[in-house]
Amino acid sequence: MIHWMWEGGNVTEARNVDALQDKDRALHEMIEALTAIQLGASAYRNWLAKGPAEAGQARQCLGDILDQTSRLQSVVEALLREEV
């Protein structure tokens, strides 16, 4: 959808509202990924503090952190290519 900007009865600017909404969604996805990374890192630290018996849980947290890091990287790369 194109949004037309009018100034003094003349069209002065056209911008793609859908593209702006896509970028907004991408930014929200980045925030969600960063929050998940932060929570995963905190959980990892907590599981490590409990000792070797909880190593499996700590490894799971690391896997979650890596998954969210990959998600974040994909969103940032798409934004840089202006695909969103």
Residues 5 and 31: their CA atoms lie apart, in Å, by 30
Domain count, the chain: 1
Which residues constitute the domain of residue 28? 19-80
List pLDDT tens digits, range 9-66: 565 555 566 677 788 888 899 999 999 999 999 999 898 888 888 888 888 999 999 9
Assess if residue 8 is contained within a domain. Answer: no
Assess if residue 75 is contained within a domain. Answer: yes
Q: Which two tokens stand for residue 66?
A: 């890596």
Assess if residue 44 is contained within a domain. Answer: yes
Assess if residue 31 is contained within a domain. Answer: yes
Cβ atoms of residues 44 and 2 within 8 Å: no
Assess if residue 66 is contained within a domain. Answer: yes
Identify the residue with better confidence: 4 or 81: 81
Q: What is the identity of the amino acid at 71?
A: R
| Residue 44 CA, distance from chain mean position | 20
Q: Which two tokens stand for residue 9?
A: 């009865």
Assess if residue 14 is contained within a domain. Answer: no
Cβ atoms of residues 47 and 23 within 8 Å: no
Residues 11 and 83: their CA atoms lie apart, in Å, by 26
